[in-house]
């Protein structure tokens, strides 16, 4: 996130009413609210609300969708989490273990902000965490593909903030057809990671209104949004196509990442972040 964007967000939220509106919309999540519902919930005249909703929209804190005669407002959760990442990216002078007690004493939503962790000293090797909510489809596919293709010293793992506990059978079948090892793949929580991540890549879909979990700590963060094939409906062929599409998008991005000069990038966080963001825009 650019400093100018963060400044604009804070300026918009400097109004008490706009802060109340944004927090209310965050609570409502992907369902959002129309202006009348917001006015009733906050006990403010609708005429006084329109100016503040426009200001929040201009700051990109809320999205607006036309529904007949009404407009539905939703908090831009990914932008909020980007702001959190911007504020905490170099927490505690790069030693996040120093922040453990402070995080534990805060009111941060524990399902969104796990305890910060420390990192290994191997600058040329990196642990990549693919993160989503359920850890049953997309993050599992990304973990398996990355480890199938990655050079020695670069390892991927996956986790969920609210893991389902099972890997989707279609994910396992697809990987098997592609000749990718599925041994050891399981749905797990980010509270029980086998290694400490250096890079965290969220794969939830902004377009679908998903709330991406925000990993707190001195890690490099990127977002590679992919539609969740577990929610696909239709014929057998259409559902399989959704899984294949997710796999192909993730594989193309991972291949693009692994084609980079990894040793150089492991020592240049700014450049690595830029490359990860660029790759996150690639489609199949």
**Residues noted as catalytic:** 132, 204, 212
Per DSSP, the three-state class of 191 is coil
Q: Are 196 and 17 in contact (CB under 8 A)?
A: no
Beta bridge partners of 127: 155
DSSP code of 210?
Answer: -
What is the longest distance spanned by two Cα atoms in the chain?
62
Question: How far, in whole angstroms, is CA 70 from its chain's centroid?
Answer: 30
Sheet strands side by side (includes 62-67)? 33-34, 70-75, 62-67
d(CA 174, CA 171): 5
d(CA 191, CA 135): 13
Place of tokens 């973990």: 143
Non-local (6+) Cβ contacts of 108 within 8 A are 216
DSSP code of 75?
Answer: E
Please name which of 54, 55, 57 lies closest in space to residue 79, comparing C-alpha atoms: 57
């Amino acid at each position: 996130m650019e400093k100018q964007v963060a400044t604009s967000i804070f300026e918009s939220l400097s109004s008490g009413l706009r802060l109340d509106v944004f927090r209310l919309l965050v609570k409502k999540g992907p369902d959002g609210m129309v202006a009348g519902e917001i006015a009733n919930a906050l006990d403010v005249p609708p005429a006084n609300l329109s100016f503040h909703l426009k200001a929040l929209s201009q700051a990109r804190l809320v999205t607006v969708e036309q529904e007949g005669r009404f407009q539905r407002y939703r908090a831009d959760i990914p932008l909020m989490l980007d702001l959190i990442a911007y504020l905490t990216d170099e927490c505690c002078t790069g030693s996040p273990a120093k922040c453990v007690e402070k995080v534990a004493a805060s009111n941060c939503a524990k399902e969104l902000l796990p305890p910060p962790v420390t990192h290994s000293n191997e600058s040329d090797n990196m642990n990549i965490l693919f993160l989503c909510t359920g850890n049953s489809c997309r993050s599992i596919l990304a973990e398996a593909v990355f480890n199938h293709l990655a050079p020695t010293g670069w390892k991927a793992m996956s986790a969920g903030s609210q893991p389902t506990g099972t890997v989707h059978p279609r994910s396992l079948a697809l990987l098997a057809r592609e000749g990718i090892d599925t041994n050891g793949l399981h749905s797990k929580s980010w509270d029980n990671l086998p290694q400490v991540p250096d890079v965290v890549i969220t794969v939830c879909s902004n377009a679908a209104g998903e709330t991406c979990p925000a990993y707190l700590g001195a890690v490099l963060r990127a977002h590679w949004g992919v539609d969740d094939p577990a929610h696909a409906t239709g014929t057998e062929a259409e559902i399989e196509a959704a899984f294949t599409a997710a796999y192909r998008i993730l594989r193309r991005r991972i291949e693009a990442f692994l084609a980079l000069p990894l040793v150089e990038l492991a020592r240049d966080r700014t450049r690595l972040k830029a490359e990860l963001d660029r790759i996150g825009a690639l489609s199949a």
